[in-house]
Amino acid sequence: MAPYRFESSPARVASSCDVTFAMLADPESAFEVACGANGAAEGMAAGKGYVDVSTVDDATSKLIGKRITSTGASFLEAPVSGSKKPAEDGLLIFLTAGDESLYKRVAPLLDVMGKSRFYLGDVGNGAAMKLVVNMVMGSMMVSFAEGLLLSEKVGLDPNTVVEVISQGAINAPMFSLKGPSMVKAAYPTAFPLKHQQKDLRLALALAESVSQPIPTAAAANELYKVAKSLGLADQDFSAVIEALKAEMQSSQH
C-alpha cells in the first residue's frame, strides 16, 4: 500500500488525483474547499472526478457541482448515512447523485468504504435524501430520550425500557447502542450533537422551500439548540437528553 501523501492545498490534491473525495463538516466548509482560493476546482480538468461526501443542503451541492463541471471534470455528491464506527468498519451507506458515469467509475471505491450505495439521479437528490434520513434520526432520538426520562420518573428501570424496545417492532440499532450509555449520562461522540442540529436546520429549510410542515422535527431542533447552549455541541447527539433534564429542572423551580 502506498504511503499517504499530503499536499499544500485542495487544488494541489485535485491536480494530483484522478478522483478527489471531499468530506467536510458543513456547507460553508464544503464550498470553500471546492470553490474557494486554491480550492479543488482549480486543480480539476476534463477526465477528473470530484466526489463530495459532505452533508450539505441541495443548493450548496448544486453550486459546487456547477463549479466543478465548468472545468470539464465530473461531479458526484455522495453524502453518507453512518457515523464513526460504520466508517471505521467500512459499513457506510452512500447516497449519491450527479454524473452516472462517475458513479460507476467510483463504485468499487465506495464498496470499500460502505455496505451499500444508492444512485438517486440529479445533483441535490443525495443531499435531500441525507437530510430526510437525519431529520428522522434526530426526532427519534428526542422521543427515545423522553421515554427514558419518563420511565425513570414513574419508577421504571430505563435499562429495562431499552430491552423491551429492542424486542419489539420499533427496535432500531440506535436505541440498543445509545440507550445504556444515556442511562449513565455518558455520551461518547460518534455523531456530534452540533452536526445533528445543523442537519435539522437544513432539513427545516428544505421543508420550508416546498411548504411541507415538519412540526416534530422543528420541536426536536429546539431541544438540540438548548443542548448546544448547555455546552454539549461536541458530545454525541444522544446528549440531547440533557436538554430535557434541564427543561424538567427549570419547570420545577
Q: Which amino acid is at 73?
A: A
Which among 62, 130, 178, 194 is annotated as catalytic?
A: 130
245 is catalytic: no
Residue 192: strand pairing partners: 236
Give burial (CB, 10 Å; 0-12/13-18/19+) of 126.
Answer: buried
Q: Which amino acid is at 22?
A: A
188, 181 in Cβ contact below 8 A? yes
Alpha-carbon distance of 198 to 181, in angstroms, equals 23
50, 75 in Cβ contact below 8 A? yes
The string of DSSP codes covering 33-90 is HHHSTT-GGGG--TT-EEEE-S---HHHHHHHHHHHHTTT-EEEE--EE--HHHHHHT
Write the DSSP symbol of residue 238: G
Q: Which three cell numbers stand for residue 18?
A: 484522478
Residue (of 148, 56, 158, 140) closest to 97 by Cα position: 56
Phi, psi of 91 (to 5 degrees): -120, 30
Query: For the CA atoms of the chain, what is the radius of gyration?
Result: 20
Active site residues: 130
